[in-house]
Amino acid sequence: MALIAVAVGIFLLIKGGDWLMRASVALSLRFSIPKIVIGMTVVSFATSAPELIVSIRSALSGHPDLAIGNVVGSNIANLGFVLAITIIISPIYVTPSFYKTDWPMMILASVLFYLFTAFDYQLEAYEGAILLVFLLFFIVYLIKFQKRTILDEAPQDDEALKLLKTITYLILGGFSLWLGSETLIKGAVNLAQNLGVSERIISVSIVSVGTSIPELSASIIAIINKQKALSIGNLIGSNIFNLLAVMGITAMIHPITIEDAGFLNNDIWWMFGISFLLLPMGFFIKGLKLSWIEGLILFFLYFIFIIPLFI
């Protein structure tokens, strides 16, 4: 049954990513919004919904390590696993907004999260509120200033869908991502628990990869449809949403206490390391382009992070 749940969950996540991508492209055409902005708002929020649901449920049910590990592990997986596979399939040209806006905000969110948790091993409600406020300011900045940048050219076969159809795709996509992630996580966690693995190990590996599958699905679909600006915006935006929205909202609903020191002694430093590495990769190597070489490096680092967890 657990294996069937994993298979069904993956199918729903892939289908949900497809519907969500259709809706996001339609929105960018309808409102003349750069696809990078859509990727960092609509798509990022929808693909971060699984992390939000899992984290809130985990915190309320007395499993704070699952809530924290879900986000930290997912951020590592988004760059070391999802982005790696994406750029191995097809290179991505990094836009100037990546190093001027997106990457700095991701690092700022990471630093804030670390400072709030490093000294007392807790994320209080007011700290969660601060994280959420930073996200709101960031979204306002994106919508206000990114619209002044050069718009991404849409493919010739794109069409502006009717508003009702766009909303339908958006709802179906978001619901499928949620249901698919729930199904996948339950199946994966049941399999992992049979191995006697700790909650931290489960959360930063199996659960985080499961909740990152929507990002993988959305990114691959974006590459296939030649929406490359959307795919990298989706990943960076999802990491920002995970830290500011998922952790922020979860802490406001129920303060989180970190029980396993491994998060702050090991996992979060992997998150910082891979995040920092992304800048020189995109800015200095081959001139604003991430290719299969960088993909292999990121995937290798992710492999080094995951394997010791189970040894």
Return the CATH fold of 35-154+197-310. A middle domain of Talin 1 (1.20.1420)
The CB density around residue 137, as the number of other CB atoms within 10 Å, is: 12
Quote the CA–CA distance of 223 and 221 in Å, as a whole number.
Answer: 5
- Whether the pLDDT of residue 287 is over 70: the answer is no
Give per-residue pLDDT as tens, 294-308: 999 999 999 999 999
Task: List 93's β-bridge partners, or say none.
Answer: 289
Degrees to nearest 5, angle at CA 276 with 110 and 99 = 90
Quote the CA–CA distance of 20 and 236 in Å, as a whole number.
Answer: 17
- Whether the pLDDT of residue 153 is over 50: the answer is no
- Whether the pLDDT of residue 152 is over 60: the answer is no
Most confident of 36-50, 138-152, 193-207, 238-252: 238-252
What token pair was written down for 200?
Answer: 């931290």
DSSP H helices in the chain: 2-31, 35-38, 44-60, 64-77, 84-89, 96-97, 103-118, 125-145, 163-193, 199-202, 208-224, 228-241, 247-253, 262, 268-283, 292-306
- For 119-136, b/e burial (b = at least 16 CB within 10 A) is eebebbeebbeebbebbe
**Among candidate residues 214, 243, 253, 171, the one with its CA nearest the CA of residue 50:** 214
- When comparing pLDDT for 18 and 47, which is higher? 18
Asked whether 188 and 4 are in contact (CB, 8 A), the reply is no
Taking residues 137-165, report their average pLDDT. 64
- When comparing pLDDT for 122 and 1, which is higher? 122
- Whether the pLDDT of residue 284 is over 70: the answer is no
Q: Where are the domains of the chain?
A: 35-154+197-310
- Tokens 């209080």 -> residue: 124
- Whether the pLDDT of residue 209 is over 80: the answer is yes
What token pair was written down for 189?
Answer: 């966690």
pLDDT band at 40 (very low <50, low <70, confident <90, very high): low
| Residue 240, burial from CB neighbour count under 10 angstroms (0-12, 13-18, 19+) | buried
pLDDT band at 163 (very low <50, low <70, confident <90, very high): confident
Q: Give the whole-number percent of the chain exceeding pLDDT 90.
A: 31
Phi, psi of 156 (to 5 degrees): -65, -30
Give per-residue pLDDT as tens, 112-141: 999 999 999 999 999 999 999 999 898 888
- When comparing pLDDT for 199 and 257, which is higher? 257
The pTM for the full model equals 0.81
